[in-house]
Amino acid sequence: MKLHKKLTTASGRPYVENENSQSVGSRGPLLLQDYILHEKMAHFNRERIPERVVHAKGSGAFGTFTVTHDITKYTKAKIFSEIGKETKMLLRFSTVGGEKGSADTERDPRGFAMKFYTEDGNWDLVGNNTPVFFVKDPKKFDDFIHTQKRDPHTNLKSPTMMWDYWSLNPESLHQVLILMSDRGTPYGYRHMNGYGSHTYSMIDAANRRTYVKFHFKTAQGIRNFTNEEAAQMKAHDMDFAQRDLIENIDAGNFPKWDLKIQVMSEEEALSQDYYLNPFDLTKVWPHGDYPLIDVGVVELNQNPHNYFQDIEQAAFAPAHIVDGIGYSPDKMLQGRLLSYPDAHRYRLGTNYEQIPVNRCPFATNNYQRDGQMRVDGNGGENPNYFPNSFDGMEIDSAYQEPPLPIDSPYADWYDRNCEGENDHFTQPGNLFKIMTPEQQLNTINNIIGAMSGIEGPKKAEIVNRQLSHWYRADGRLGAAIADGLGVDVDMEEPE
Ligand code: HEM
């Protein structure tokens, strides 16, 4: 049935003059008093908010998380409290380096950001489709991202900047290898895994801590574009992943992911007995040592009715944890705790948590007041300070986390790649070895193609430095890339 609604100004005044501005005479100038013209132009001028500084191009949908297995021995988080329990959630996928209008099929990691609306608050798990990352310390993030964006002079993407940075930071090798494999060009968002990537913690009912990694395995099966297919799709449909997601959900073909965790005891994680630093984001925990444990299923089953409202305004933050789930000493995670809410305050404003998609649908009670765009009642007549004698607000000590043991009383700028933490090569080498011959070949060709873009006076230096990393990971990989690039390694001076 067609609804009969009156056209109004934003303040609610019904009006008729929507398409003709008020003028002096039919051919004369316009009048300043045509407020409707001002309002239309002024609001239009403010339609864009800053795009995300990274992960600007994205797609998202709502869904449910359902518990299938009991993990209450690790966590008291209410979301995991019983088998069969369902929690509403939001998932936003994204590419990383491109602008909001860039192509969905670019070679790039993919964001996998989730918000679970739990009774104890919104839990955000802001991950990627890769279990590792390029750098180990948050101080490096802005430099790294600059190399993925546009060259300040040419305003072009620059393979020279990228490989210069990666070759100078061999800790990136593991993630660069994944990026250069066909997993760097996934077939939309439904056919890739998601990872929390960092080590997080879980706290059980007795307030004991364990460390965990989160894995979301696609039930649709892994499917990737080859480099050529991705380029063709880019020319054909820049928004392939958005279209694929919305059309499948509209058709009732709801994508699913199986949540699994790896678990490490606090004693083991802190003992430094394990050969890896369990809080190093450039490393995976080998599944042979830490097997995957089933937890539940994420299903996306509802497209947002309005993209801007629910996806562009979505604000995810690794700082948003809930009782039973905690942070870890992973330096990158620690940096992200600050960075995301700070980005949201800039992009969406200080009251970004009140935007419906970000708002906890259960209780939020605190003494934060005022600020731009405060729309939640602002605490009404209630006291705006704590403690007070009036509102009966209580602190529930059951929510207190156990204290965190630390390994040293000394604050310093510790080298993240010190002796024992500087093996950047074994895990990428192992990953290359378990690839099928076809995957290896595609990866080699993708690397050759990408490194062929290095140019300028430092070209030989950058190529050689990166080649030495590939060699150290796997001799056959290094030799194949050198061959493809036409570099005669026997002729090169060692670094
Ligand atoms: C210290 C390292 C990092 C910093 C400082 C950082 C910072 C940021 C910032 C500022 C944004 C934009 C937020 C917004 O405006 O809404 C963002 C988005 C994002 N980041 Fe990071 N990031 C870091 C590392 C990572 C890592 C390791 C992952 C994955 C494991 C990751 C995944 C994401 C995702 C998925 C988004 C998009 C969230 C969305 O869909 O809205 N980031 N990051």
To test the pocket of ligand 1, the residue of 48, 52, 312 to mutate (highest count of ligand atoms within 8 Å of its CB) is 52
Helix H segments across 348-494? 426-434, 437-451, 459-473, 475-485
To test the pocket of ligand 1, the residue of 126, 193, 312, 328 to mutate (highest count of ligand atoms within 8 Å of its CB) is 126
- State the SS3 of 285-314: CCCCCCCCEEEEEEEEEECCCCHHHHHHCC
What is the structure's pLDDT at 450?
Answer: 98
Is residue 333 included in any domain, yes or no? Answer: yes
Is residue 389 included in any domain, yes or no? Answer: no
| Residues whose beta carbon lies within 6 Å of some atom of ligand 1 | 52-55, 58, 92, 94, 111, 113, 126-128, 133, 138, 141, 197, 314-316, 332, 335-336, 339-340, 343-344, 347
What is the structure's pLDDT at 495?
Answer: 47
Give the Cα separation of 122 and 325 in Å (integer): 12
Same domain? 191 vs 315: yes
Helix or strand or coil: residue 128? strand
Same domain? 10 vs 65: no
Contact 368, 346 (CB under 8 A): no
Give the Cα separation of 484 and 47 in Å (integer): 48
Catalytic option among 20, 43, 128, 358: 128
Is residue 41 included in any domain, yes or no? Answer: yes
Element at 242 (helix H, strand E): helix 240-250
Close Cβ partners of 339 (under 8 Å, ≥ 6 residues apart)? 138, 141
Is residue 79 included in any domain, yes or no? Answer: yes
How many residues would you count in the chain?
495
For 133-170, what is each residue's pLDDT tens digit? 999 999 999 999 999 999 999 999 999 999 999 999 99
Same domain? 88 vs 227: yes
Same domain? 312 vs 247: yes
Same domain? 36 vs 78: no
Same domain? 190 vs 284: yes
Close Cβ partners of 363 (under 8 Å, ≥ 6 residues apart)? none
Same domain? 42 vs 65: no
Is residue 394 included in any domain, yes or no? Answer: no
Same domain? 259 vs 339: yes
Q: Can 128 be counted among the known catalytic residues? A: yes
* Gap from CA of 130 to ligand 1 centroid (Å): 13
Same domain? 205 vs 318: yes
Binding-site residue ranges for heme? 340
Q: Can 207 be counted among the known catalytic residues? A: no
Give the Cα separation of 296 and 85 in Å (integer): 9
Domain assignment of residue 278, given as a range: 58-134+169-354
Same domain? 81 vs 2: no
For 438-477, what is each residue's pLDDT tens digit? 999 999 999 999 999 999 999 999 999 999 999 999 999 9
Give the Cα separation of 188 and 244 in Å (integer): 7
User: Low-confidence residues of the chain, pLDDT below 50?
Assistant: 492, 494-495
- Give the domain CATH number at 246: 2.40.180.10
* Gap from CA of 316 to ligand 1 centroid (Å): 9
Is residue 375 included in any domain, yes or no? Answer: no
- Type of residue at 447: I
* Gap from CA of 140 to ligand 1 centroid (Å): 13
Is residue 370 included in any domain, yes or no? Answer: no
Q: If you take atom 6 of ligand 1, which residue's CA is the nearest one?
A: 336
Q: If you take atom 14 of ligand 1, which residue's CA is the nearest one?
A: 52
Is residue 218 included in any domain, yes or no? Answer: yes
Same domain? 124 vs 34: no
What is the number of domains present in the chain?
3
b (16+ CB within 10 A) / e for 153-183: eeeebbbbbbbbbbbebbbbbbbbbbbbbbb
